[in-house]
Amino acid sequence: MLARARPGDAYRESNFDARLVTSGREDLILICFDDLIENLGVLEIAETRNDRAVRSRALTRCVTALTALELGIDREAEMATSLAQFYGAAKALLLDSIRVVDLDKIRELRDDLREIALAFRAAQRAARGG
């Protein structure tokens, strides 16, 4: 049913599911980052088009990804407290976006998440020796 109603959504969801099945812990973190970053972009587009349904779905996906990232924080890690605070602030911004979307703050969050994901990927490659 989803494929007939929204083929793009069906493709993204099946791609997401396939990545989840074949992933380790570090890969799952990157999947959450990628999904969050992508859905922040969808949120921006939906807001500019005043598409409430797409906006709602994007916000839900974003909050879900952030929750997974929060739950995945290694509490013994050096950056644990900083990450928890950052994710908490990001979630507050998204929950505030249910009423009013501040596109400038959403873009800033998306840029920050891209930087974090890039750093995480670099650390992951270094740990693998590549």
Q: Is 87 helix (H, G, I), strand (E, B) or coil?
A: helix
Structural contact between residues 86 and 67, judged by C-beta atoms closer than 8 angstroms: no
As a whole number of angstroms, the distance between CA 96 and CA 101 comes to 7
What is the full per-residue pLDDT of the chain (130 aa) written as tens digits? 445 556 666 555 655 555 555 556 678 899 999 999 999 999 999 999 999 999 999 999 999 999 999 999 999 999 999 999 999 999 999 999 999 999 999 999 999 999 999 999 998 889 888 6
As a whole number of angstroms, the distance between CA 40 and CA 42 comes to 5
Residue with tokens 């013994």: 76
